[in-house]
């Protein structure tokens, strides 16, 4: 009897061990905002490709994402993988909560470093370590009314700063404006700085916003408002209606505005297009988007990496674009024939080759607010561009 019980017990242990060996490994992924609602289709494809792996997606609203991350880090309840806004990488990366994925990428047979736009990949590097892989990107280009520009003699979008000013002046001559522009949006302002060769910090980490290239960019930006080419206060303005009415026939924005413009003002379909940023020394634009990171405390790092590889591989990036409209971070995805008929999207793909992210340091959130404050002061004439740049330098030096 005793032997029979021991035999049953052993069989039970063997059976349990066997079932455990075949049980699927589950990783938890935090996805934010609209992406969380759409990622299910990609998860389904992933689980089909990797039958031994399961993905549990937790949807996190963007409005509470930052606080949720802080709470999870403090409480040791982080997920295996998380979607991470590019401007949050330095803040969380600098406190050591992300896994350095350099070796994963180096040994990967699915993706490699050169697959990604340089500006996007750089958003993952904090203190010299690679803490994530670009998932999707966005950038800014020029939206413009083809018909109205043609009326003032431009059969092409402005290709230089000089042409931008010239065409804006001609468009504004009828009492409207040449373009819509923000006085307090660093994502619109910083491209002008980068296009002129300016920077926030120099190669030694010293504040560089009083260098001539930065000040000249600010002077040009301020001139657009001072001479009435852009509205000094456009708050409350319906950009779509102003664009359709021709009162603001040019503006800078991201890929989401393509569909929104078609939806909001379909009456001007065929009368507008998008173009690369106008050039000074370069045509550099802003690059943003989201990365995928693995948390250092994850107990499923290999499985988490397989998920990241899957989501960032070129063909799956095309699929993700079809599902979500999010632009591929993998350069090879743009070679897919699916993009051949998407002329406006091709412009974004071209712009991504010359796009830059803000400096990746934990103090960025403060620096961002300083830039917007000082640029606005210059636009409103409260400070000259040189005075605003000097004040900005003191602001930044105070937090570094």
Query: How deeply is 368 buried, as exposed, middle or buried, from its count of CB atoms within 10 A (0-12, 13-18, 19+)?
Result: middle
Whether residues 79 and 217 fall in one domain? no
| Alpha-helical runs (H) found in the chain | 2-22, 33-38, 40-49, 62-75, 89-93, 102-107, 118-122, 146-151, 161-172, 186-195, 212-226, 239-245, 256-264, 301-312, 314-324, 343-351, 364-379, 385-399
DSSP string, 314-379: HHHHHHHHHHH-PEESBGGGGGSGGGGG-HHHHHHHHHGGGEEPPP-STTHHHHHHHHHHHHHHHH
- Residues 35-75 have pLDDT tens digits of 999 999 999 999 999 999 999 999 999 999 999 999 999 99
Question: Does 319 share its domain with 273?
Answer: no
Can you give the pLDDT at residue 234? 75
Q: What is the pLDDT of residues 184-225, one digit of tens each?
A: 999 999 999 999 999 999 999 999 999 999 999 999 999 999
Are residue 180 and residue 262 in the same domain, yes or no? yes
How buried is 297 (Cβ within 10 angstroms: 0-12 exposed, 13-18 middle, 19+ buried)? middle
The DSSP call for residue 207 is B
* Whether residue 146 sits in one domain with residue 218: yes
Question: Is residue 34 one of the residues assigned to a domain?
Answer: yes
Strand order in the sheet with 141-145: 250-253, 141-145, 272-275
From the list 91, 124, 105, 44, the residue with the least C-alpha distance to 289 is: 124
The answer to the question of residue 12 being in a domain is: no
Average pLDDT, integer, range 372-396: 98
Q: Are both 152 and 277 inside the same structural domain?
A: yes
43 and 127 in a single domain? The answer is yes
Query: Does residue 1 sit within a domain?
Result: no
Q: What is the pLDDT of residues 97-151, one digit of tens each?
A: 999 999 999 999 999 999 999 999 999 999 999 999 999 999 999 999 999 999 9
DSSP 3-state assignment of 273?
A: strand
Instruction: State how beta strands 25-32 and 53-60 pair.
Output: parallel
Could you tell me the pTM of the whole model?
0.89
* Residues 233-256, mean pLDDT to the nearest whole number: 93
Q: What is the domain count for the chain? A: 2
- In this structure, the answer to whether residues 176 and 221 fall within a common structural domain is yes
Q: What is the CATH number of the domain that holds 58?
A: 3.40.190.10
Residue 22 has pLDDT above 90, yes or no: no
To the nearest 10°, the Cα dihedral for 382, 182, 399, 354?
A: -130
Q: Is the pLDDT of residue 4 over 80?
A: no
The predicted pLDDT at position 2 comes to: 55
The total number of residues written for the chain in this structure? 400
Q: What is the pLDDT of residue 135?
A: 98
Residue 377 has pLDDT above 80, yes or no: yes
pLDDT band per the 50, 70, 90 thresholds, residue 292: very high
Residues 372 and 245 in one domain: yes
Is pLDDT of 19 > 80?
no
- Note down the domain range covering 211: 141-286+360-398
Looking at the fold, whether 216 and 262 belong to one and the same domain comes out as yes
Residue 208 falls within a domain, yes or no? yes
Q: What angle, 0 to 180 degrees and rounded to 10, lies between the N-to-C axes of helices 186-195 and 212-226? A: 130
Residue 14 belongs to a domain: no
Percent of the chain at pLDDT > 90 equals 92
| 17 in any annotated domain | no
Find the mean pLDDT for residues 31-38.
94
* One domain, residues 54 and 116: yes
Same domain, 49 and 174: no
pLDDT (mean) for 22-28? 83
Q: Region 278-301: what's the mean pLDDT?
A: 97
Residue 281 pLDDT level (bands cut at 50, 70, 90) = very high
Is 5 inside any structural domain? no
- Judge contact between 158 and 166, C-beta under 8 A: yes
Q: Same structural domain for residues 45 and 107? A: yes
pLDDT at position 174 is: 87
Label residue 6 by pLDDT band (50, 70, 90): low
Residue 298 belongs to some domain of the structure: yes
């Amino acid at each position: 009897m005793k032997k029979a019980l021991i035999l049953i017990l052993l069989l039970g242990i063997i059976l349990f061990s066997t079932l455990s060996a075949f049980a699927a490994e589950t990783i938890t992924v935090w996805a934010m905002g609209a992406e969380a609602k759409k990622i299910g289709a990609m998860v389904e494809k992933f689980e089909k490709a990797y039958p031994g792996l399961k993905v549990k997606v937790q949807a996190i609203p963007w409005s509470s994402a930052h606080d949720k991350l802080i709470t999870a880090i403090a409480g040791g309840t982080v997920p295996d993988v998380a979607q991470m806004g590019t401007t949050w990488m330095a803040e969380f990366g600098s406190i050591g909560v992300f896994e350095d994925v350099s070796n994963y990428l180096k040994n990967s047979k699915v993706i490699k470093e050169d697959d990604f736009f340089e500006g996007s990949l750089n958003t993952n590097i904090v203190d010299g370590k690679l803490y994530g892989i670009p998932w999707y990107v966005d950038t800014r280009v020029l939206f413009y009314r083809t018909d109205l520009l043609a009326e003032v003699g431009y059969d092409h979008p402005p290709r230089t700063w000089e042409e931008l000013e010239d065409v804006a002046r001609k468009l504004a001559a009828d009492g409207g404006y040449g373009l819509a522009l923000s006085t307090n949006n660093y994502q619109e302002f910083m491209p002008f700085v980068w296009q002129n060769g300016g920077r926030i910090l120099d190669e030694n980490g010293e504040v560089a916003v009083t260098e001539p290239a930065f000040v000249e960019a600010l002077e040009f930006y301020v001139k657009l408002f001072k001479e009435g080419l852009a509205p000094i206060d456009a708050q409350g303005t319906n950009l779509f209606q102003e664009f359709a009415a021709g009162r603001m026939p040019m503006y800078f924005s991201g890929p989401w505005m393509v569909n929104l413009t078609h939806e909001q003002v379909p009456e001007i379909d065929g009368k507008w297009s998008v173009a690369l940023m106008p050039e000074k020394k370069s045509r550099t634009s802003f690059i943003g988007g989201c990365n995928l990171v693995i948390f250092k405390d994850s107990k499923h790092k290999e499985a988490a990496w397989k998920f990241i590889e899957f989501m960032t591989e070129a063909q799956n990036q095309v699929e993700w674009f079809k599902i979500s409209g999010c632009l591929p971070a993998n350069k090879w995805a743009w070679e897919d024939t699916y993009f051949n008929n998407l002329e406006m999207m091709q412009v974004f793909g071209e712009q991504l080759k010359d796009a830059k992210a803000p400096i990746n340091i934990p103090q960025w959130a403060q620096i961002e607010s300083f830039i917007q404050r000082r640029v606005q002061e210059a636009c409103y004439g409260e400070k000259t561009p040189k005075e605003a740049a000097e004040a900005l330098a003191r602001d930044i030096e105070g937090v570094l």
